[in-house]
């Protein structure tokens, strides 16, 4: 496992860090759930997108098991009417479709915390959204939910089998790489058969991750990388600040996407160090091939950031070298 350094210092050797992490006996950072209401909401969201002709899912979000989403049986006429009513609501209602981060936060957190066997009275959500969900719930519970819940639980078990022996080292490495503290509170991870066009998303205060159990990009070690990446969004404050301050001081043009690309690189390489046959998300799904600039940044990070991940360069030095390679503003 790669050793990582904090600002202004040089880390222990890789062997020392790996040994120390192996001896840690901490409770898991991640708490996994398979929740009925959040899965229903996301599944209706997916159906509404299809009804509107929206097909913006990235390749990594495409399903690995189509049978999990087609339904266990044909709907009866009353079931079809109830489901169609809910779908029509989701097609036309901006709140249900979640067209802004604030809406996602408001609905996602409250549905995730609601009792799966309840009637949503414990969820402070818009009454019209509640009614649409309650109308669709009996159909979903009978036709889709058994397969969805089974998929979620199988995915959670497979992810935990890979994660548990490596978690302490992985989370420590990502935190130290980003010169940040890992969240103190447990990170809830909700498994959902559908989880946005990307296959995963994160909300904050507290950090809460929702990941598709059926997305190609979340299977096996890619799922571990996805966890680290999504959680890492809560840790990038020091990185973003260091990049911005150094660029301003050195008179360099800071690309808006650079911090996110560094998070991709960090999570991917951290998992590859722990699981040698892991192919990082960025390589598997073309993040670095989307344009010439992305490929150039990958080369830059391999040259100047990778030594930091290996404990051979301080955070401050790595940031200075990366920013120093950026262009100056046009005269």
pLDDT higher for 292 or 41?
A: 41
Average pLDDT over every residue of 151-178: 96
pLDDT band, residue 261 (cuts 50/70/90): very high
What letter does residue 67 receive in the DSSP assignment? G
pLDDT band, residue 54 (cuts 50/70/90): confident
pLDDT higher for 104 or 314?
A: 314
Three-point CA angle 232, 233, 235, nearest 5°: 65
Q: pLDDT tens for residues 105-147?
A: 678 889 998 999 889 989 888 899 999 999 999 999 999 999 9
Indicate whether 41 pLDDT > 80.
yes
DSSP β-ladder status, 187-192 and 200-203: unpaired
Least confident span in 36-45, 70-79, 217-226: 70-79
User: Is the sign of the CA dihedral 65, 66, 68, 69 positive or negative?
Assistant: positive
Indicate whether 7 pLDDT > 50.
no
pLDDT band, residue 100 (cuts 50/70/90): very low
Contact 212, 218 (CB under 8 A): yes
Average pLDDT over every residue of 162-166: 95
Contact 174, 270 (CB under 8 A): yes
């Amino acid at each position: 496992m790669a050793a990582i350094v904090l600002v202004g210092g040089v880390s222990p050797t890789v062997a020392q860090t790996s040994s120390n992490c192996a001896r840690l006996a901490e409770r898991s950072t991640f708490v996994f759930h398979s929740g009925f209401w959040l899965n229903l909401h996301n599944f209706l969201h997916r159906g509404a997108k299809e009804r509107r002709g929206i097909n913006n899912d990235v390749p990594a979000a495409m399903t690995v098991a189509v049978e999990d989403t087609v339904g266990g049986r044909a709907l009866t006429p009353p079931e079809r009417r109830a489901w169609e009513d809910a779908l029509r609501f989701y097609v036309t209602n901006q709140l249900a479709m979640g067209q802004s981060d604030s809406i996602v936060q408001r609905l996602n957190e409250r549905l995730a915390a609601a009792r799966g066997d309840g009637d949503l009275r414990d969820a402070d959500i818009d009454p019209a959204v509640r009614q649409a969900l309650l109308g669709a719930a009996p159909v979903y519970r009978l036709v889709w939910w058994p397969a969805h819940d089974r998929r979620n639980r199988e995915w959670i078990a497979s992810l935990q089998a890979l994660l548990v022996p490596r978690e302490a080292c992985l989370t420590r490495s990502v935190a130290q790489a980003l010169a940040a503290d890992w969240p103190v509170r447990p990170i809830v991870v909700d498994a959902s058969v559908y989880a946005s066009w990307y296959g995963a998303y994160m909300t904050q205060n507290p950090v809460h991750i929702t990941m598709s159990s059926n997305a190609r990009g979340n299977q096996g070690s890619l799922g571990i990388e996805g966890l680290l990446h999504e959680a890492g969004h809560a840790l990038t404050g020091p990185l973003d600040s260091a990049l911005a301050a150094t660029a301003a001081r050195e008179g360099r043009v800071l690309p808006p996407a650079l911090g996110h690309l560094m998070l991709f690189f960090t999570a991917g390489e951290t998992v590859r160090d722990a699981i040698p046959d892991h192919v990082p998300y960025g390589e598997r799904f073309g993040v670095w091939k989307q344009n010439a600039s992305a490929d150039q940044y990958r080369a830059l990070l391999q040259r100047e950031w990778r030594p930091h991940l290996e404990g051979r360069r301080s955070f401050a030095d790595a940031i200075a070298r990366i920013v120093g390679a950026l262009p100056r503003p046009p005269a």
